[in-house]
Chain A
């Protein structure tokens, strides 16, 4: 038997601007094994695999395939080396059949013989136990079937090194079991597989070996049989780092938002939030932790009036006189007309919070354009506000007439946060407020959040960095698969504890 590894990455480094996504990563993958690549959000797992798939090109380091050094400059190069990646977002043509999608882009001589293709597809399917009808149109397929097409597409091209990027995120437990069964068949056939996942029980279930990344660094690898979820969590989150974020305690808390039995379905009818209940108080920062896509977006949007929750859900706003107002069934304009000052810094800054093609003044106008009588929008106050935000938050911009899309990420965020705080909110929600920002800007944002808290605002802070959540927030709500898996005190909770709740190891398993 050959002892040479299928893939070997040596000191691979990838930078995006000043951010180092992968720093000197070493990784080895053998034939006949399933390797789990484990890490928190933003730890660089997908970036690392994208370099194998030819989507990114490394800035440093070497990649060996079957012992030979290679340079993978495009997905085509990757295919020629037998590497195929199944991405999180499927890239299929809806109106084509499975077989047509599978051969799409292949430059084979001769005419397109659908029967031959279908026969080959069936042959691959029966070998590994896929359940696929070559003549079914993609628009008729379930998510799991679409994923099967993606996998077969890669196998059809002769790939023997397969990378699956969070394949189970969209699957039901039964579909996940089926996927794992075919993965094992492929492994037994001598293929090399990498699975990227956040879910520890899946790691334990399917993989032979686990490699852990943390903040772009390679932490190490272990045989799955020699480890347990607790050890893996330790490797994944590391030891707590002290950040020194000031966290004064407010003595007087007032009930602001009470969420009761909140259930939200997405357009496909899948539950994104299931029976979520909690209370947010004025004078505290409530952190929301969870793996990305655990329902954080739906939670904030439901409160902001941008989602249609299922019947039985309640979101009650309590004003300073103690009166309760139901927010469900109202759009953002209705909510502000009720006198509820609700500020929201959404995750998608330019796609939801701001208008990229408009300048700073016009973006300030977004929340106040209806003010004043008459048909014309008043731009004087927004212009003043824009100038004030630029000055107070030190926004780097040529002027208030520059389109915001031309600003850097941090400055875009300052404009957005500045506008939302200027509304004098009683509730301030933010999603991934510091994503992509440098340390200084991040601290500016943390301080602004704390300042608002001290003014008696109910701050809801959705974050991904556990160290920050633990130092900034008074309480932390942990979501897992759209359900509340824990509500802990930010001053006493530990990183490990929250890490475990995020992957829901306390009793219940995954989503139903």
Chain B
């Protein structure tokens, strides 16, 4: 009797980890996922708003690349996202959960805005002003990243909570600065800084306002790739991320690596703040980071910390965002409709990673 009650039946399907998958096969899975995403969201579009999905997709494309200006904005925002993801890469490679990019961006932004406002008033020469903006934004971001790093190294605090809370401190600091730099008085915003003189604004290169953004971020992409893959520091980061015990065994000072890497991570996020203020919006507000510090975590992880793959993923996310805005306004859709489409596409792309890492075995029929 008890034998029967403990009889076993094989489940309908089992999930097992893949031991390894060839790169082309992985890309085929990703491609299928994208295709399925387009089909499913097409069906959803048709079912909900009775629009022709092809037209909607064309509208999305036009939202991102419809005019030269739009194309440049898409590129600018892609660079911004990429810059943050590059900043997060060393931290996450070290398995240090830096959820604090938002705060680090804001700190870099505050530093930049301060330089623009006070440096503009003091009529500093442009090269000096730029040098100052770069140095202060890097320093501000680095400090903001280093604080949780030091606490983790010394007292083993939980970095996820710590970095997250540092975001709120940075937001409060930004509010304070906004109230201090309010312009015009009573508007509760800083307004466009140096609108007339354009002091501290990124100069147009080759006739395009965002060329400098591209140059800076591309340089960072290459530099971070080399740093993580070939430098001694990059090697230490990888060892600490895999096993702290092995790091200690090899004589690596785990504390030092935590602090140094978080300073670097924060510094690059600080540069992102510099780009956002000096290279894009020319103003500062509590929404300067705008959640991108969180979205960039997805970018960093999906790319497995390969900065060149990050270009692709940042672009995809920004493309979807721009497309969603366009279809919302063109077809007079509620914001949610376009977000559903973005959601479906992201769901499939993220979901494809599951099928790349795991295999689903179905129960064999035996009669």
A357 to B237, CA, bound (A): 13
Are B7 and A71 in touch, CB under 8 angstroms? yes
A357 to B236, CA, bound (A): 14
Which of chain B's residues 6-34 have a Cβ closer than 8 Å to chain A?
6-8, 19-20
The stretch among B43-51, B199-207, B242-250 that forms the contact with chain A is B242-250
Are A355 and B246 in touch, CB under 8 angstroms? yes
Are B233 and A366 in touch, CB under 8 angstroms? no
Tell me the nearest residue of chain B to A344, going by C-beta: B249
A65 located at the interface, meaning its Cβ lies under 8 Å from any Cβ of chain B in the complex: yes
The stretch among A220-228, A243-251, A328-336 that forms the contact with chain B is A328-336
B232: which A residues are within 8 A, CB to CB? 369-370, 375-377
Are A375 and B231 in touch, CB under 8 angstroms? yes
A72 to B8, CA, bound (A): 10
A430 to B6, CA, bound (A): 45
Are B6 and A357 in touch, CB under 8 angstroms? no
Are A68 and B1 in touch, CB under 8 angstroms? yes
Known: A71-B6, A333-B251. A377 touches B239 (CB 8 A): no
A365 to B253, CA, bound (A): 16
A69 to B7, CA, bound (A): 12
B7: which A residues are within 8 A, CB to CB? 71
Known: A71-B8, A369-B235, A375-B232. A306 touches B246 (CB 8 A): no
B238 located at the interface, meaning its Cβ lies under 8 Å from any Cβ of chain A in the complex: yes
Tell me how far the C-beta of B185 lies from the nearest C-beta in chain A, rounded to whole angstroms. Answer: 50
Which of chain B's residues 229-279 have a Cβ closer than 8 Å to chain A?
230-236, 238-239, 242-243, 245-246, 248-253
Are A352 and B243 in touch, CB under 8 angstroms? yes
Are B231 and A377 in touch, CB under 8 angstroms? yes
A511: which B residues are within 8 A, CB to CB? none
Are B6 and A355 in touch, CB under 8 angstroms? no
* A71 partner, pick from B3, B238, B249, beta carbons under 8 A: B3
A495 to B14, CA, bound (A): 48
A456 located at the interface, meaning its Cβ lies under 8 Å from any Cβ of chain B in the complex: no
B2 located at the interface, meaning its Cβ lies under 8 Å from any Cβ of chain A in the complex: yes
A77 located at the interface, meaning its Cβ lies under 8 Å from any Cβ of chain B in the complex: yes
A362 located at the interface, meaning its Cβ lies under 8 Å from any Cβ of chain B in the complex: yes
Q: How many residues of chain A have a CB within 8 Å of chain B?
A: 41
A354: which B residues are within 8 A, CB to CB? 246
B251: which A residues are within 8 A, CB to CB? 305, 331-336
Are B242 and A356 in touch, CB under 8 angstroms? yes
* A375 partner, pick from B1, B19, B233, beta carbons under 8 A: B233
B239: which A residues are within 8 A, CB to CB? 355, 358, 366
Tell me how far the C-beta of B256 lies from the nearest C-beta in chain A, rounded to whole angstroms. Answer: 11
Are B235 and A365 in touch, CB under 8 angstroms? yes
Are A351 and B1 in touch, CB under 8 angstroms? no
Tell me how far the C-beta of A10 lies from the nearest C-beta in chain B, rounded to whole angstroms. Answer: 15
Tell me how far the C-beta of B6 lies from the nearest C-beta in chain A, rounded to whole angstroms. Answer: 5
* B230 partner, pick from A72, A335, A377, beta carbons under 8 A: A377
B2: which A residues are within 8 A, CB to CB? 65, 68-70, 81
A157 located at the interface, meaning its Cβ lies under 8 Å from any Cβ of chain B in the complex: no
A348 located at the interface, meaning its Cβ lies under 8 Å from any Cβ of chain B in the complex: yes
B238: which A residues are within 8 A, CB to CB? 355, 357-358, 362
Contact with B along A311-334 (1 / 0, CB 8 A): 000000000000000000001111
Tell me how far the C-beta of B23 lies from the nearest C-beta in chain A, rounded to whole angstroms. Answer: 14
* Chain B contact residues: helix, strand, loop or mixed: helix
B235: which A residues are within 8 A, CB to CB? 362, 365, 369, 377
A369: which B residues are within 8 A, CB to CB? 232, 235-236, 250
B20: which A residues are within 8 A, CB to CB? 406
Are A69 and B3 in touch, CB under 8 angstroms? yes
A425 located at the interface, meaning its Cβ lies under 8 Å from any Cβ of chain B in the complex: no
A358: which B residues are within 8 A, CB to CB? 238-239, 242
| Residue picked from B239, B245, B248, B250, most chain A C-beta under 10 Å | B250
| Residue picked from B5, B231, B246, B253, most chain A C-beta under 10 Å | B246
Contact with B along A296-311 (1 / 0, CB 8 A): 0000000011100000
A410 located at the interface, meaning its Cβ lies under 8 Å from any Cβ of chain B in the complex: no
Which of chain A's residues 334-379 have a Cβ closer than 8 Å to chain B?
334-336, 344, 346, 348, 350-358, 362, 365-367, 369-370, 375-377
Tell me the nearest residue of chain A to B239, going by C-beta: A355
* B249 partner, pick from A72, A332, A375, beta carbons under 8 A: A332
A344 to B235, CA, bound (A): 21
A335 to B248, CA, bound (A): 13
Known: A332-B248, A355-B243. A70 touches B231 (CB 8 A): no
Tell me the nearest residue of chain A to B8, going by C-beta: A73
Tell me the nearest residue of chain A to B19, going by C-beta: A406
Are A77 and B6 in touch, CB under 8 angstroms? yes
Which of chain B's residues 78-130 have a Cβ closer than 8 Å to chain A?
none
A375 to B19, CA, bound (A): 34
Tell me how far the C-beta of B68 lies from the nearest C-beta in chain A, rounded to whole angstroms. Answer: 41
Tell me the nearest residue of chain A to B248, going by C-beta: A306
A354 to B243, CA, bound (A): 9
* B250 partner, pick from A351, A366, A375, beta carbons under 8 A: A366
A504 to B360, CA, bound (A): 53
Tell me how far the C-beta of B361 lies from the nearest C-beta in chain A, rounded to whole angstroms. Answer: 19
Are A376 and B6 in touch, CB under 8 angstroms? no
Are B246 and A352 in touch, CB under 8 angstroms? yes
Known: A81-B2, A377-B235. A367 touches B250 (CB 8 A): yes
A71: which B residues are within 8 A, CB to CB? 3, 6-8
Contact with A along B220-235 (1 / 0, CB 8 A): 0000000000111111
Which of chain A's residues 241-283 have a Cβ closer than 8 Å to chain B?
none
Tell me how far the C-beta of B104 lies from the nearest C-beta in chain A, rounded to whole angstroms. Answer: 24
A443 to B71, CA, bound (A): 67
B246: which A residues are within 8 A, CB to CB? 351-355, 366
A70 to B5, CA, bound (A): 9
Which of chain A's residues 369-400 have a Cβ closer than 8 Å to chain B?
369-370, 375-377
A305 to B5, CA, bound (A): 55
Are B6 and A72 in touch, CB under 8 angstroms? yes
A355: which B residues are within 8 A, CB to CB? 238-239, 242-243, 246
Known: A352-B249, A375-B233. A357 touches B8 (CB 8 A): no
Tell me the nearest residue of chain B to A306, going by C-beta: B248
* B245 partner, pick from A334, A352, A362, A377, beta carbons under 8 A: A352
Are A376 and B243 in touch, CB under 8 angstroms? no
A355 to B8, CA, bound (A): 39
A301 to B29, CA, bound (A): 46
Tell me how far the C-beta of B363 lies from the nearest C-beta in chain A, rounded to whole angstroms. Answer: 17
A406: which B residues are within 8 A, CB to CB? 19-20
A351: which B residues are within 8 A, CB to CB? 243, 245-246
Tell me the nearest residue of chain B to A371, going by C-beta: B232
Are B233 and A353 in touch, CB under 8 angstroms? no
Tell me how far the C-beta of B49 lies from the nearest C-beta in chain A, rounded to whole angstroms. Answer: 46
Are A346 and B6 in touch, CB under 8 angstroms? no
A365: which B residues are within 8 A, CB to CB? 235
Are B230 and A306 in touch, CB under 8 angstroms? no
- Point out residues on A near B: beta carbons under 8 Å: 65, 68-73, 77, 80-81, 304-306, 331-336, 344, 346, 348, 350-358, 362, 365-367, 369-370, 375-377, 406
Q: Can you spell out 8 A-B residue pairs with CB atoms less than 8 angstroms apart? A: A68-B3, A332-B251, A333-B251, A355-B243, A366-B250, A369-B232, A369-B250, A377-B232
Sorted nearest first, the 5 A-B pairs with minimum C-beta distance are A333-B251, A332-B251, A352-B245, A355-B242, A366-B250
Q: A305-B251, A370-B232 are in contact. List 11 more A-B contacts (CB 8 A).
A: A68-B3, A71-B3, A77-B6, A304-B249, A334-B251, A344-B249, A351-B245, A355-B242, A356-B243, A358-B239, A366-B239
